[in-house]
Structure 1
Amino acid sequence: MIPVTCSQCGLSIFVPPEVQGREGICFRCGLPLIIPSEAGRSRHDNLNYERGDRIADRYVVKEQIGKGGMGVVYRALDTLVQDMVALKFLHPNILRTEQGRQLFIREVQIARRLRHENIVAVHDVSWTAEGILYLSMEFAQGHSLRALLRRYRHERRVIPVRLAVTYLRQILVALDYAHHTVIHRDIKPENVMVMPNERVKVLDFGLAKAAHEEYFQEGDEEKTSRMVGTWAYAAPEQRKRQKVDLRADVYAVGLLMHELLTLRTPLDDPVEVVDVRHDVSPSLISVLERALAVEKEQRWPSAKDFRIALETAFEESYRKTVAVFDSDGMVKTPSTKGMVFLEGGHFLMGNNEVREEAPEHEVLVRPFWMDAYPVTNKQYQEYLEETGAPAPRFWHDPQYNGPNQPVTGVSWAEAKAYAAWAGKTLPTEGQWEFAARGRENRKYPWGNLPPDATLANFNDNLGMPSVVTMHEDGGTPEGIYDLAGNVYEWMLDPFVSYTAKRQNPQFAAAAPRRALRGGSYKSPPNELLCTARKGLFPEVRENTIGFRCVIPASRLIHAQPANTNSDAPAENASE
């Protein structure tokens, strides 16, 4: 029997040898298929490789890790760089002509330019000795979103709203970046990899279009009657074979959102989110409904707009409050408005190349909320009026007292007192560095590009602190700003070596200086690195020093979504 796999829907069947070389159609989706000839076939013609097989005298096959309509994926060792990669071998019946292969390579060259923490990187494209085209890609150690959905469905558990939003946000960040270059056209759970620490990566940018353009030759009447992508996750205009733009990807992410919240695939019977669960807020459902609008003009105009709406709806609907006591012993409950929730987790802290930042060491950061911006003069004014605390050192200097400039000239104790008044605390160095670096270990809060005047206020370019919203291009992907430049930020920690903290906690607690992070408007570029740190005596009140606050999730006492049934299960913040 001869194995045949449909390049559009992934159906794999076996046909008798007497039909070899003939043209047929896929039983599931109707795509024309060419039955390959059995003559001269080797096990490699079926893309079957065994452990230890060598590819191009460079790659050593370890194991098969995936199989689909376009080909087979193996984990392999790249002996040139001694690192694991994923090798994706394309079915020969997908790319049958030299013109088609060149088109495919052009699409791959576009995909190679995509370098983002939420996109599986494509390294190279080449041929085996048997003439089989393959891609060398980043080995993403994890499992597909499809596998995660199946596990939750098998265990009859719903995916927490917070986790669904975490995944969707990263997918949309990846698409927002990629849409400047390419439209994906085939977003589906199989093309999203779930990594450790709740990270996700999107793969196979542009490959669906290349395979489609090749399969139907120029002038082929069938070409215009076939869609690009996977039918179940295709936008209405894709199914109608109309012109496609980035809003087709927006629709596909909407389908992913529906599936994450309901565990129903687009091929299942239609179901409303509210028919499955009651802990999804109306505002989130509204975001979903717009993403799934039939007319593309009515959808979110971009992945970025979709992401912002999703984050805003989640923050407003699942806002948590903290119990704190005022001077009269009465409970007051400030909200987390203006803060960003960070999941926390394990990350590598420090930098072995700088003495004050060494050694690199793994740190576990618990979930917490962080101010999106440093505390401003306007916010500090409210504190002064309510408490009668003394004004900061530069409070009356017009160079530093703009309402939306960060407050400066406060000592460590004054910053700590404000945080306590607000029901918050100063961040630890671990929390601050986790927020700045992210799980992908960024060099700077915005990524790995060197700083410039559009990203941060540094090198005395302005000669004073800027308003906190001036450098939003330099924010983190999570939406935290001014972590590099503008003003240093007081940390809760004493300033001691990381080794001293671990080996002699009593010494660390008694250290005379307090840690600062982030650099200031006077700092050189190296002080803007996420790992950079310095220490000053806590009494110092300089015009280069401010602060921001955090709330540890362990202090949250209320997690009920707003505007939902009070009997619905609440999102629990992990401790």
Structure 2
Amino acid sequence: MPSPIPVTRLLPRDIYPSLDVGTCSSPLTKHPRCGSTLQVPARRLHGRVASRLWSSVIHWKELRSVQPVGSGGFGSVYKAEYLGETVALKRVKKCAKNKLASRQSFWAELNAAHLRHRNIARVIAATTCVPADFGDESSIGTILMEFVGSRNLQQIIYGCAEALGEDRWLRYSADIVHGLRFLHSNSVVHLDIKPANVLVSGEDVCKIVDFGCSLKLDRGCEVSAVGPHLSHVGGTYTHRAPELLKGEGVSPKADIFSFGITLWQLITREQPYTGDRQHVLYAVVAHNLRPSVQDHPAFQSEQGRLCRTLLNRCWSGEARCRPSAQELLPHLEQLRSQT
């Protein structure tokens, strides 16, 4: 079945004009029963997967030492060796309740596949064609990515006793914003920024992952958050911008709202909301509900007041009033100078 997402939202402009999708289930996969399609060559340089290339073919016989790392509603993640490099293998599973959204989520994972940045997890290869001995009837496709590490910000914020001092959470915040600035400059919006979707490497560098809700926008344009081709647009309700909750236009400013909630979590190490999900959703839109900053002890110092001002801008109910990722960076530098 053809991909429900337009090819222009999945691939850079220098690739898709020559693409012949044919009858394949994916614009990125070649298989004897699928017809013609795009091929992006894979290479091996000095025993490592080339850092600036990704492939629509996975050489399954080159996979070694596949070990499970975790699983969730999206599918399963494994750690493995591939062409001499440690990688993460992500198997995206089919959702029985919403098969269209499952397919869209898989293709959305590739919106940033052609991008290379220090704060974005690199895609190495992706395909929907899986050999029987590697396959799973519930799987839509498989993605190979760089192996960043086994820790994410959610675990660091809530799951460990180690200190999360000002210098550290400011550095993590800057990493996220640098990644967002690069994504937005390439017309990609993530739409599910939250601590669980930010991995922390062994070098203590944050990398944005999980692009299953992302969109590739035409430059300077917004896209409606509703419609048959965007049924996968979701994200986590605690971090979702009010305009998305109302079904209005998608823009990079939606990621800034989500970053604001994430920054608050880094500062306070608390949960942003309590209570029933539907109550929170209604209150965010109708009553401008946001995590507490007014009376919270973390926001009473001079630096805390600067943080409070920045947060109020990031999670403004009006997308146009939020700063861009580019505009956020000097504010974070100012906060860092206060430490």
TM-score (norm 2): 0.65
**Quick check: 1:290 aligned with 2:292?**
no
> 1-side partners of 2:294 and 2:75: how far apart?
34
Structure 1 residue corresponding to 2:266, chosen from 251, 260, 269? 260
Structure 2 residue corresponding to 1:189, chosen from 183, 195, 200? 195
Contact 2:69 2:78 in 1 (8 A): yes
Find the counterpart in structure 1 of residue 149 from structure 2: 141
- Tell me the SS of whatever aligns to 1:310: helix
Note the alpha carbon deviations across 1:222-248, whole angstroms, 9 max, x for none: x77x85211111111111121110011
Find the counterpart in structure 2 of residue 125 from structure 1: 126
**Quick check: 1:201 aligned with 2:207?**
yes
Find the counterpart in structure 1 of residue 185 from structure 2: 180
- Give the C-alpha shift of residue 190 in structure 1: 1.0
Note the alpha carbon deviations across 1:358-383, whole angstroms, 9 max, x for none: xxxxxxxxxxxxxxxxxxxxxxxxxx
Note the alpha carbon deviations across 1:68-95, whole angstroms, 9 max, x for none: 22111000111xx121110111112278
Whichever residue aligns with residue 155 of structure 2, its letter is A
**Quick check: 1:281 aligned with 2:304?**
yes
Whichever residue aligns with residue 289 of structure 1, its letter is N
**Quick check: 1:272 aligned with 2:293?**
yes
- Tell me the SS of whatever aligns to 2:257: helix
Find the counterpart in structure 2 of residue 444 from structure 1: none
Note the alpha carbon deviations across 1:306-339, whole angstroms, 9 max, x for none: 1221212331x33xxxxxxxxxxxxxxxxxxxxx
> 2-side partners of 1:178 and 1:309: how far apart?
19
Change (3 A) 1:298 1:135: same
Change (3 A) 1:105 1:67: closer
Which stretches in structure 2 are left out of the alignment for 5+ residues? 1-57, 216-225, 276-290
> 1-side partners of 2:122 and 2:241: how far apart?
26
- Tell me the SS of whatever aligns to 2:326: helix
> 2-side partners of 1:67 and 1:273: how far apart?
38
> 2-side partners of 1:196 and 1:110: how far apart?
26
Find the counterpart in structure 1 of residue 89 from structure 2: 87
State the identity as a percent.
Answer: 25
Contact 2:189 2:214 in 1 (8 A): no
Whichever residue aligns with residue 265 of structure 1, its letter is Q
> 1-side partners of 2:311 and 2:119: how far apart?
22
> 2-side partners of 1:289 and 1:104: how far apart?
31
Contact 2:67 2:80 in 1 (8 A): yes
> 2-side partners of 1:305 and 1:190: how far apart?
24
> 2-side partners of 1:55 and 1:69: how far apart?
26
Note the alpha carbon deviations across 1:260-303, whole angstroms, 9 max, x for none: 11112223374327523355432222112211111112211x11
- Give the C-alpha shift of residue 112 in structure 1: 1.2
Which stretches in structure 1 are left out of the alignment for 5+ residues? 1-53, 211-215, 319-575
Contact 1:158 1:263 in 2 (8 A): no
Find the counterpart in structure 1 of residue 77 from structure 2: 73
- Tell me the SS of whatever aligns to 1:77: strand
> 2-side partners of 1:271 and 1:217: how far apart?
34
**Quick check: 1:59 aligned with 2:63?**
yes
Q: Which has the higher contact order (CA 8 A, sep 6+)?
A: 2
Change (3 A) 1:197 1:58: closer
- Give the C-alpha shift of residue 146 in structure 1: 0.6
Find the counterpart in structure 2 of residue 545 from structure 1: none
CA RMSD of aligned residues (A): 2.9
Contact 2:176 2:208 in 1 (8 A): yes
- Give the C-alpha shift of residue 61 in structure 1: 4.5
> 2-side partners of 1:250 and 1:217: how far apart?
23
- Give the C-alpha shift of residue 107 in structure 1: 3.4
Contact 1:72 1:88 in 2 (8 A): yes
Change (3 A) 1:67 1:161: same
Task: Map 1:21-36 to 2 at 5 A.
Answer: none
Change (3 A) 1:227 1:287: same
Find the counterpart in structure 1 of residue 12 from structure 2: none
Change (3 A) 1:63 1:106: closer
> 2-side partners of 1:217 and 1:296: how far apart?
21
Find the counterpart in structure 2 of residue 332 from structure 1: none
- Tell me the SS of whatever aligns to 2:112: helix
> 2-side partners of 1:201 and 1:273: how far apart?
31
> 2-side partners of 1:86 and 1:266: how far apart?
30
Find the counterpart in structure 2 of residue 312 from structure 1: 334
Structure 1 residue corresponding to 2:238, chosen from 232, 236, 253? 232
Contact 1:77 1:85 in 2 (8 A): yes
Contact 2:191 2:233 in 1 (8 A): no
Note the alpha carbon deviations across 1:94-145, whole angstroms, 9 max, x for none: 7836x974x5565344321110111100111123234531101110124110
Contact 2:169 2:266 in 1 (8 A): yes
- Tell me the SS of whatever aligns to 1:208: coil
Change (3 A) 1:217 1:245: closer
Contact 2:108 2:213 in 1 (8 A): no
Contact 2:148 2:201 in 1 (8 A): yes
Find the counterpart in structure 2 of residue 115 from structure 1: 116
TM-score (norm 1): 0.39
